[in-house]
Amino acid sequence: MTNISSFSLRCLKPNDTRKPFDCRDDDLNDFFHHDSADNDRNLLSVTFVLEDKVNTIAFFSLLNDKISVDESTGNWWKKHIRSYFPANKNYRSYPSVKIGRIGIYHEYQGTGIGSQIMDYIKVLFLEDNKSGCRFLTVDAYNKSNVLRFYERNDFMFFKEKYQSTKDKTRLMYFDLMSLLED
């Protein structure tokens, strides 16, 4: 298992040079090399990199999100989200942070770096939560290995009205409070 502490972690600025990166996924590679700077510049997301002296080992982008009662089926909302909160608090949505993209350099895939990044993100919003964030969300690629990765990292499927197992992505969430209850 490769430990992420062997590398440097930093938040990219829009004009920072991106070191070489290839995760063998054209969509993720394109986002990292081209779109991440525009998203950062336009305040749409923030991109973090894990680097060695030569390459980007991994990257992830984060952006604000919400889990909304309007986007879910009533029974699922009551059972899975609403049940977390006191009866006298009837919010229509709950604050979350979306993991917009995450990519691991192909030579480091399967080494545990992705799960360590998930742990880092979870702790980041528990220890340095600047705006209120209860959940992490992700639109995970609807591929069995990707979905299993998020499930191993304790993400659960979000039952949306129109979400299908045939969609390109599946919305999943993680409740940060579960870490405080352990």
Tens-digit pLDDT profile for residues 43-92:
999 999 999 999 999 999 999 999 876 555 556 555 556 555 555 566 77
C-alpha distance across the termini of the chain, in Å:
25
Token pair 């990765």 is found at: 149
CATH of the domain at 140: 3.40.630.30
Average pLDDT over residues 100-106: 97
53-20-101 Cα angle (round to 5): 110
Tell me how far apart the alpha carbons of residues 181 and 93 are, in angstroms, rounded to a whole number.
22
The whole domain housing 120 covers 4-180
Tens-digit pLDDT profile for residues 21-30:
999 999 999 9
Structure-model confidence comparison of residues 1 and 19, the more confident one: 19
Q: Number of structural domains, the chain?
A: 1
Tens-digit pLDDT profile for residues 157-173:
876 544 566 788 999 99
